[in-house]
Amino acid sequence: MQSDYGYFEEEHLGKPYDIKLLKRLYPFAKTYRSLFLWTIFAVILITLLDLSLPYVTKIAIDRYIVPGAHSSESKILQEKTRHRNAAEGQKKDQVYIAALADPAIRAIVQKHPDIFQINGDVAQIRFDALGKLSRQDLAGLRKKDLQGVGKVTAYFLILISLNFFLSFVQVILMEYAGQKIMHDLRMKLYLHIQSLSISFFNRNPVGRLVTRATNDIQNMHELFTSVIVFCFKDLFLLLGIAIVLLTINWKLAMVSFAVLPVVVYASISFSNRARDVFRVLRIKLAEINTRFAETLGGIKVIQLFLQEKENYRKFAKLNHESYLAGMQQVTILAVFMPIIELLGSIAVAMIIFYGGQGFIQGSISLGALVAFISYMKMFFSPIRDLAEKYNIMQNAMASAERIFLILDKKDTEISLNIPGPVTGSRQDAPVLKSISQIEFQGVSLSYLPGEPVLKEISLRVKAGEKLAIVGPTGSGKTSLINLLIRFYIPTAGKIFINGIDLRQIDPVLLRSRMALVMQDPFLFSGSIRSNIAYGKTISDKQMEHILRIANCRSIVERLPHGLDADLSGGGASISSGERQLISIARAFARDPDLLILDEATSYIDSETEQKIQEALANLMKNRTSIVIAHRLATARNADRIIVLNRMKIVESGTHAELVEQKGYYYKLNQLNNTYRAEV
């Protein structure tokens, strides 16, 4: 057999196409586009506030803390004293200008005539001489500057408060949208997984599918809540910072941008390495989950065959491979992030060097230099954020690939003659009120090309007939039932229900008229009541009747909470016979036209078998029944027996007729009698 069919985890995905994946994710986000638009609007305002903070600092320094030549008075003084300052070696931003129109300032100037120079209606004092004034005189001289600093501080706090409020709103909106998108994506994946054919689940471990519905969808969360919007914010912030820097001093801005080519090269190199690492991480996580699920499911076998050490060794190997992939991811980030930090520090050093020269020479103010340094630190912050967001996006895209591999499985399954998804009744499907006749016409089945499991099966089952199917293991008994339930459809031939081709009947309608009692019944976590009703509304009176005819009354009475007793772990707390009786009660609740039994008494003790046989007799009364009989004693009371061997029907008739023919069934019966006699 082709062991890789349906096993998609190790498929080579080729070159990543993030744009295509984002387009496929877009329909999930489209529903909440209004939230995204409001979030983007909030992000724009937040970005503008972030850009304004260093500029407010510049204003505070140039206008109030070190006003120098930037006040209107200093501009007047600059023209009057230009030659004098040049002769004394003073720089235009090394003096403080005070207007003598204020009586308090005039009094301070008159009090210290040796350190002030008066030029008309203004007075000049060197900044290094301000320390000679008393604290009271200094406060009086710079009263307006102190008031200005207070106003700037108030503006600064208001901007920070607005930034906090808008950030809060933005996070709430984005988280709500992200959670809703994850909810919708998980529900779509869950619905789709339920609709896939049985072969898909036969070939894909539970742990892998659980990883897709949990970890991989969780990775989508950060993509929608941080990557998309914050990438927009970071790009907007980068553009805004570049414009502000060019506005303040374009020459110094061009100097600071000299490191950008190296940043771009490092970012591209990082992105080329990140994707493959995250793909490996997703694969290893799924393999670990699969191994862990298999260990828990087969713990009895592992301990019985003393395979704890070997199983541990295999898990340790997987865990170490996951560790190596994780360390590879860390190594990439550990190299990239310090490089960005180093380049940012180099850019700041270049600003300090060239900007410091400009300040000394008087071509740039101290406030502008401080603002330049602040903006440059901000400039590299979004670059780091973009790298981290790309890191998250690569993780999310690796998960998205795996999710869409499952969502795309529908077309592959249909091409292999497997039924499409069961999502609801089709309007154009024939109405199936009851199952009165079943007919197989030359039916063959191959799960894989060239490997048939059934060959040219033709039979008819009438309403109310009890049909037994016997044959050795591998003869195709279960495959015949799988075709009837429409877990698969024939490779050749046709199946008719009431004269209607099975392919034309909606699976929802078909399966609603059937009930299956399996050899090893599966019960869900929950109460006995929910397991019996399972999708149907059952009144207390109906439930009481079902419990009585299914011989489940003793089970309910024994448990402390009766019908509301919880069955954890698939009913592990009760015996296999009790689980079988509950599954029979579940079949009763369905009130089927067609009952299918897969040797429901194979693993039951004699006392419980009698109860089950009574319950089954009640269940099969006045119903069409098909019984897969592993023990011939079960088939003897059937209206008709068909014998399968080597994927074909070799005999058909009642027990007496088949024994009289002394064919294959006769041999099986002889072997069965010999075995029973020895036992």
Q: Do residues 503 and 379 both lie within one domain?
A: no
pLDDT at residue 60 greater than cutoff 70:
yes
Question: What's the CA gap between 67 and 72, in Å, rounded?
Answer: 10
- pLDDT at residue 162, rounded to an integer: 93
Domain total of the chain: 3
Q: Do residues 372 and 463 both lie within one domain?
A: no
Q: Do residues 130 and 163 both lie within one domain?
A: no
Within its chain, how far is the Cα of 329 from the centroid? Answer: 20
Q: Do residues 264 and 171 both lie within one domain?
A: yes
- pLDDT at residue 74, rounded to an integer: 45
Q: Do residues 232 and 361 both lie within one domain?
A: yes
Q: Is residue 3 part of a domain?
A: no
Q: Do residues 103 and 44 both lie within one domain?
A: no
Structure tokens, 475: 């003869």
Of the candidates 188, 245, 612, the residue with the CA atom closest to the CA atom of residue 403: 188
518, 465 contact by CB (below 8 A): no
Q: Is residue 13 part of a domain?
A: no
> Residue 679 — very low, low, confident or very high, per pLDDT cuts 50/70/90?
very low
400, 214 contact by CB (below 8 A): no
Structure tokens, 439: 């007919």
pLDDT at residue 437 greater than cutoff 70:
yes
Q: Is residue 283 part of a domain?
A: yes
Average pLDDT estimate for 604-625: 79
Question: What's the CA gap between 430 and 425, in Å, rounded?
Answer: 10
**Boundary-marking domain end, from 144, 177, 200:** 144
Q: Identify the domain containing residue 206 by its residue range.
A: 20-62+148-412
Q: Do residues 365 and 495 both lie within one domain?
A: no
Average pLDDT estimate for 535-543: 84
pLDDT at residue 6 greater than cutoff 90:
no
Question: What's the CA gap between 672 and 668, in Å, rounded?
Answer: 6
Q: Do residues 173 and 132 both lie within one domain?
A: no
Q: Is residue 264 part of a domain?
A: yes
C-alpha distances (whole Å) from 188 to each of 131, 217, 262 are: 73, 11, 43
Q: Do residues 55 and 89 both lie within one domain?
A: no
Write the CATH number for 313: 1.20.1560.10
Write the CATH number for 447: 3.40.50.300
Q: Is residue 558 part of a domain?
A: no
SS3 654: coil
Question: Most confidently modeled of 82-91, 100-109, 153-162?
Answer: 153-162
Strand partners, 439: 460, 496
Question: What's the CA gap between 204 and 230, in Å, rounded?
Answer: 37
Taking the CA atoms of 593, 442, 1 and 284 in sequence, report the sign of the dihedral they define.
negative
Q: Is residue 211 part of a domain?
A: yes
Question: Most confidently modeled of 71-80, 248-257, 340-349, 459-468?
Answer: 459-468
Question: What's the CA gap between 139 and 478, in Å, rounded?
Answer: 97
- pLDDT at residue 674, rounded to an integer: 61
- pLDDT at residue 8, rounded to an integer: 44
Average pLDDT estimate for 112-121: 79
pLDDT at residue 77 greater than cutoff 50:
no
Average pLDDT estimate for 350-378: 80
Of the candidates 22, 50, 276, the residue with the CA atom closest to the CA atom of residue 167: 50
- pLDDT at residue 357, rounded to an integer: 80
C-alpha distances (whole Å) from 590 to each of 291, 455, 531 are: 37, 32, 12
What are the tens digits of pLDDT across the range 122-148? 787 777 777 778 788 777 777 787 888
> Residue 418 — very low, low, confident or very high, per pLDDT cuts 50/70/90?
very low
Q: Is residue 210 part of a domain?
A: yes
> Residue 611 — very low, low, confident or very high, per pLDDT cuts 50/70/90?
confident
What are the tens digits of pLDDT across the range 292-324? 877 877 776 787 667 888 888 988 998 998 888
Q: Do residues 456 and 441 both lie within one domain?
A: yes
Q: Do residues 162 and 184 both lie within one domain?
A: yes
What are the tens digits of pLDDT across the range 555-599? 888 888 888 888 776 677 777 788 888 888 888 888 888 988 887
Q: Is residue 579 part of a domain?
A: no
pLDDT at residue 330 greater than cutoff 90:
no
Q: Do residues 444 and 387 both lie within one domain?
A: no
510, 593 contact by CB (below 8 A): no
**Boundary-marking domain end, from 125, 144, 163:** 144
pLDDT at residue 443 greater than cutoff 90:
yes
pLDDT at residue 417 greater than cutoff 50:
no
Give every strand in the sheet of 451-462, ordered side by side. 451-462, 437-448, 492-497, 500-501
pLDDT at residue 92 greater than cutoff 50:
no
Of 421-435, 521-535, 616-630, the least confident: 421-435
- pLDDT at residue 18, rounded to an integer: 64
- pLDDT at residue 551, rounded to an integer: 85
**Boundary-marking domain end, from 128, 144, 160:** 144
